[in-house]
Structure formats: structure tokens, C-alpha cells
Amino acid sequence: MDYENVIQLTSQAMLLCLLVSLPVVLVAAGVGLLVSFVQAITSLQDATIGQAAKLIAVTVTLLLAAPWGAAAVFEFAQSVFKTAVA
């Protein structure tokens, strides 16, 4: 394995990390924004409402996205091992 392959695999690994974490980050940001908007409209100042909503949304997102993320990471690991052996 030469230097260019290592750079390419590192770049692919960073992109894969971004893609696998993106659904959770987007859901957490969206729910946080929505809850903050509702709290601003209703003048609620309780922080636990936002945290509980984000916790539930992120947990559901993790449960739904985990098979896809695990498959993507597993496929990448297989390609890395095939490249390292070849």
C-alpha cells in the first residue's frame, strides 16, 4: 500500500464518518430548532423539554439509521482489508 492509497482511504473514511453521523446531527438540530421556536412562542423557559425531545428523537434516529450505518462501515472495512492485502 503506497502513500496515495493511504491518503485516498483516509479521505474516504472521513467522508464515511460524516455521512454516517449526518442523520443524527440533522435530526438533533432540527428538533432543537423546532422546540426552541415553540418555547419562544409559548414563553416556556424549561430546558428539560428541549433535552427530552432531542433525546427521544436522536434515539429513534439511531435505531432507524444503525443498520445502514453499520453496513456502510462494514463495507468500507472490507474494502480497506482487500486493498491492504492486494
Give the integer Cα–Cα distance in Å for 58 and 81. Answer: 32
30, 64 Cβ separation under 8 angstroms: no
Question: What's the pLDDT tens digit per position in 3-23?
Answer: 888 899 999 999 999 999 999
Q: How far apart are the first and last CA of the chain?
A: 8
- Which residue do the cell numbers 492509497 mark? 5
Give the integer Cα–Cα distance in Å for 49 and 2. Answer: 52
The residue ranges of the chain whose pLDDT is under 50 are none
**pLDDT for the residue numbered 47:** 83
C-alpha cell at 42: 409559548
Give the integer Cα–Cα distance in Å for 78 and 25. Answer: 26
The pTM (predicted TM-score) of the whole model is 0.82
**pLDDT for the residue numbered 67:** 96
CA neighbor of 53 nearest in space, from 37, 39, 32, 38: 32
